[in-house]
Structure 1
Amino acid sequence: MTDILIITNYFPPETGAASNRIFHLANGLQKHNFNVSVLTPLPNYPTGQIFEDYKGKFKSSSIENNIIIHRLWIYASNSKNKLLRLIAMLSYSFSLCWFFAWNKIPKTVIIQSPPLLVAFTSMLFLRSKKRKLILNVSDLWPIAGLELGAFKKNFSYKLLEKIERFNYKHTDLVLGQSNEIINHVKSLFPEKDTFLYRNYPDFIAPEIPERAESKGKLKMVYAGLLGIAQGIYKLCQELDYTHVQLHIYGTGAEREKIQALISNNSELDVIYHGEVSRDKLHEALIGYDLTIIPLLNRIYGSVPSKIFEYARLGLPMIYFGGGEGEEIIEQYNLGWIAEAGNYNNLNTIISKIKSLDLELKNREQIIKTAIEYFDFSKQLDLLIEKI
């Protein structure tokens, strides 16, 4: 069996797309007879506090699903203070250095990026002609941070650009979740070996029930992180509720603001359901008419993994984020496109879907598309050939 190490900032029991993505990768490799181990911080996302079962520990090691998991100390924080965020990243980098110094590292290592500093630490200490380093790039930092308003083009930004280039230069293979990521890496290092590795889901979907014709308002759902980038608070304010009722699942930085908005504005037809397990969420999602995938601003390189997960559930989508995601929705006929940031256009599309009695996308066809084109196992087989 080939030994392989995965270094990541997110892993179950943490929730979210990043955690699910790395778990599926680790689990898939293990099923293909790789001896998989994972290096990750003590669970703390998205609360910014170490989970109760891990409090007071400097390190925790366990075997789960035949995967060896080492959870290392981190100064956990989800503070908006940039200095505290930096300290959190540096603390995990320190733990990684400590682990590298005292443990034998496999010859094949997959490193998740971002965070850039964690990837940089791994690249710096694990470079070796005898070792293959694979960089899994899920978002383009620092470009994404600049587009989100988290960075300005100053000395710090230029330093992050140098770190980004260092990481690309010293990896043997770059896995990119979008064509935009692959193109960006190739623009910097044309000869770099790359592989388009989409965030395809790996789960058994619940049986889709027969649906009666939708009466009354369209029931539209958002499920996921309630963060600044998603802009759910603004979405709640800008929606025209004449034809739609919005249901929300998840948690994040905007949760309390959203709850207060709902509580103080009874005219907003919004229902907040809190955070539920992934299995329960899937069962709930298939009961809605359609879902919305929003981004407050178009982020270069970003393709929300929700597209592929919702397709597997047969859930029609309104995509409201711009970029490569639009191309996927249109190419595979998964739903409708609203111009990113244009709430008048979004409301117009919702109105047409309802008032003009436009046929909701065929759910069975969406599922067939997902099975044919978004197959996790087929993609993993191709990746293994590269490893």
Structure 2
Amino acid sequence: MKDVLIISNYFQPEMGAASNRIFQMAKGLSKDANVSVVCPLPNYPTGKIFDGYKSMRQESIENIQVNRLWIYPSNSKNKLVRLFSMLSFSFSLMWFIFMNKVPKTVIVNSPPLFVAFTSLLFLSRKKHRLILNVSDLWPKSALELNAVKKGFGYNLLLKIEKYNYKKADLILGQSEEILAHIKTVVPKKETLLFRNYPDFKAPKIEIESYRNSQKIKIVYAGLLGVAQNIVGLAQRLDYKNIELHVYGSGAEEENLKSFIQHNPDLPILFHGSLERTELHKELVKYDATIIPLKNKIYGAVPSKIFEYSRLGLPIIYFGGGEGEALVTKYNLGWIAEAGNYDSLNNVISEINIKDLNSNLREKIQETALYNFDAKHQTNCLISLI
């Protein structure tokens, strides 16, 4: 069996799409290859090392050898502090590459750009087969989120991005938009669409047995970050016929708690974070899920689309772009114009609670199981490595 190393800034037991995506990839590849992972000590999104992981360590998770390296953890809003946090893992990664025998096939996750840059810079000298897995278009996405401004720093990031694409032998992108952008930079590079499809046992659809409210129970579950703008969503929703339930954690968690505390009459409930399996059990109890993005981000396709449709959960999509097109194409729910809260509230007001039944959920789940096949996708990747 071939040996494959995955380098990622995120991995289990961290929460979020990046962690789930890399874990899913590692599990899928482990059926046909000896897979190992190099990642930081788990700290995301809290910015603190998780209990039980206070020093560098090795462990095995479902036959995947995991090497956890030192990092200076932070979820600070200070850009310099967060930059130092990313660079700290890059330094640890340099040490790991120099001190260990690295498999010939290496998959590098990006962003962060600096981590990918470090991996590609040092491993390309040793003539490894380098596969770059691009989940977001940095620095383009950072510019759209106002996380960076045009200037020297942005231009430097553009050069790093181009270097990463040039050094990779194969580039994976989780959206068609990402691959289209990459082709404008490196037109002849081999690419593969590799979406963040989940691979868990789909639950049996049951709904009418627990509905006890005439209000539509809408749930958001995931990171509470700037891109999701969950506080802004909570502030602008019309609660006449809905309840909002929130699961997750992140940089905006305290702001959300403060908003709820100062608006006790609004039907908003914050439930904190749950392990993924337990979260799935809770999510199926709600009528619909909402997937918001503060701004339309070119290349972004939230993995929640694939995960929640597999659960049979109707989706209210509020983010534009390729994600919106997917929800429309596969009839997974409703879309509202990105950034337009009047449009969002109008869409929600037109949803008939009687239509949120088991028949709808079964159709959504069947669509997901047929079209979002993780095993087929992994087989395509295996054939290329």
Q: TM-score range by the shorter chain?
A: over 0.9
The 3-state SS of whatever aligns with 2:98 is: helix
Structure 1 stretch displaced more, 334-343 or 257-266: 257-266
Residue 49 (structure 1) shift: 1.1
Q: Do the aligned partners of 1:352 and 1:358 also contact (CA within 8 Å) in 2?
A: no
Of residues 82, 85, 99, the one that matches 1:85 is 82
- How far residue 267 of structure 1 moved from its aligned partner, in angstroms, is 2.5
What's the CA shift for 1:128? Answer: 4.3
Q: Residue 195 of structure 1: CA displacement?
A: 0.2
8 Å CA contact retained: 1:221, 1:288: yes
Instruction: Tell me the amino acid that sits aligned with residue 346 of structure 2.
Output: T
Alpha-carbon shift at residue 384 of structure 1 (Å):
0.9
Residues 136, 178 of structure 2: 8 Å contact kept: yes
Letter of the structure 2 residue corresponding to residue 35 of structure 1? N
1: CA distance between counterparts of 2:240 and 2:45?
Answer: 34
Q: Deviations over 1:16-52 (max 9, x none)?
A: 11111101111111112x0111000011111111112
Flag the 1:277–1:376 CA change in 2: closer, same or farther, 3 A: same
C-alpha distance after superposition, 1:64-85 (max 9, x if no partner): 2111111001111111111111
For residue 140 of structure 1, report the CA deviation from its aligned partner: 0.2
CA distance in 1, matches of 2:99, 2:126: 20
Q: TM-score scaled to structure 2, two decimals? A: 0.97
Tell me how far apart the structure 1 counterparts of residues 326 and 135 of structure 2 sit (CA, whole Å).
Answer: 17
Contact 1:317 1:334 in 2 (8 A): yes
Question: Structure 1 residue 386: deviation in Å?
Answer: 1.4
* In structure 2, distance between residues paired with 1:218 and 1:340: 21
Letter in 1 for 2:67: H
Matched, 1:353 2:351: yes
What TM-score, normalized by structure 1, do the two folds share?
0.96
**Number of the residue aligned with 1:311:** 309
**Does the C-alpha gap of structure 1 residues 362 and 214 become closer, same or farther in structure 2, counting only changes over 3 Å?**
farther
Q: Aligned with 2:91: secondary structure?
A: helix
- In the TM superposition, residue 211 of structure 1 has moved relative to its aligned partner by 1.8
Alignment match, 1:35: 34
Sequence identity, in percent?
A: 60
With over 3 angstroms needed to count, the CA separation of the structure-2 counterparts of 1:359 and 1:21, relative to structure 1, is: closer
Residue in structure 1 matched with residue 20 of structure 2 by the alignment: 20
Equivalent-residue separation in structure 2 for 1:277 and 1:94 (angstroms): 30
Structure 2 distance, partners of 1:122, 1:265, is 47
Cα deviation, 1:122-177, whole Å, max 9, x if unaligned, reads: 01000047421000000000000000000000100000000000000010000000
Q: Does 1:160 align with 2:157?
A: yes
Runs of 5+ in structure 2 lacking a partner?
none
**Which residue identity does 1:256 align to in structure 2?**
E
The reply on whether 1:370 has 2:368 as its aligned counterpart is yes
**Which whole-Å CA distance do the structure 1 matches of 2:181 and 2:126 have between them?**
25
| Aligned residue type for 2:137 | L
1:204 CA drift (Å): 1.3
Q: Secondary structure at the match of 2:249?
A: coil
1:11 alignment partner, SS class: coil
For these two proteins, the number of residue pairs brought into alignment is 383
- Please say if residues 111 and 119 of structure 1, whose CA atoms lie closer than 8 Å, have aligned partners that are also in contact: yes
CA distance in 1 between counterparts of 2:65 and 2:100 reads 13
Q: CA deviation at 1:281?
A: 0.8
Q: Structure 1: give runs of 5+ residues left out of the alignment.
A: none
Aligned Cα root-mean-square deviation (Å):
1.4
- For residues 197 and 189 of structure 2, the distance between their equivalents in structure 1, rounded to whole angstroms, comes to 24
The 3-state SS of whatever aligns with 1:35 is strand
Name the residue aligned to 2:190: 193
- Is the deviation greater in 197-206 or in 141-150? 197-206
Equivalence for 1:134: 131
2:287/2:356 contact within 8 Å kept: no
Please give the per-residue CA displacement for 1:51-71, whole angstroms capped at 9, x wherever unaligned: 12122x2x2112221111110
State the partner residue of 2:278.
280
> Residues 173 and 193 of structure 1 are in contact (CA less than 8 Å); yes or no, is this contact kept in structure 2?
yes
**Which string of whole-angstrom CA distances, capped at 9 and with x for unpartnered residues, describes residues 61-118 of structure 1?**
1222111111001111111111111111111111111111111111100000000000
Deviates more, 1:131-140 or 1:203-212: 203-212
- The yes-or-no answer on 1:124 pairing with 2:142 is no
**Is 1:142–1:160's contact at 8 Å kept on the other side of the alignment?**
yes
Native 8 Å contact 2:218 2:287 kept in 1: yes
In the alignment, which residue of structure 2 is the partner of 1:227? 225
C-alpha separation between the residues in 2 aligned to 1:196 and 1:173?
A: 11
